[in-house]
Amino acid sequence: MIGSQKDSIIEVWKDNLKKYDFIHDHFGFECDSCGCIPETIYCCWFFDKEKKRRYLRYECLNCSDKIFKTDGYLVNFISVLRITSYCYFPLIDKIENILFVAKHFILTKNNDIIKAKL
């Protein structure tokens, strides 16, 4: 089992347009799946049981509904997150103490930030 909805943590940010996205240098976090910047965004923490790590993704309502309400989609989505993290961070399995993997950076348990080379 890769992960399930009960392993995921979802925070609803109704004031997304007031939040500063430091990666993209503008207000409002964009959906990591479709790229839109909605007023309400879902901050999703997906858990990969196989790798024992969390992935942080921001999803709009439509994309989060697709992920959580389409049969089998969540399992495939977590598999894609794992592959994507290998693309961004080829040495990811050698990094110890990963707290979570975001789209462009990793945060370790000792608060070190490892940025992706894009």
Reported as a single tens digit per residue, the pLDDT across 50-85 is 999 999 999 999 999 999 999 889 999 999 999 999
Q: Within a domain: residue 101? A: no
Q: Within a domain: residue 93? A: no
Q: Is residue 88 within 8 Å of 23, Cβ to Cβ?
A: no
Q: Within a domain: residue 77? A: yes
Q: Within a domain: residue 107? A: no
The percent of residues in the chain predicted with pLDDT above 70, rounded, is 94
Range(s) of the domain holding residue 28: 5-83
Q: Within a domain: residue 95? A: no
Q: Within a domain: residue 103? A: no
Q: Within a domain: residue 17? A: yes
> What is the predicted pLDDT for the residue at 1?
42
Q: Within a domain: residue 100? A: no
3 or 80, greater pLDDT:
80
pTM of the predicted model as reported, rounded to 2 decimal places? 0.86
Question: Domain tally for the chain?
Answer: 1
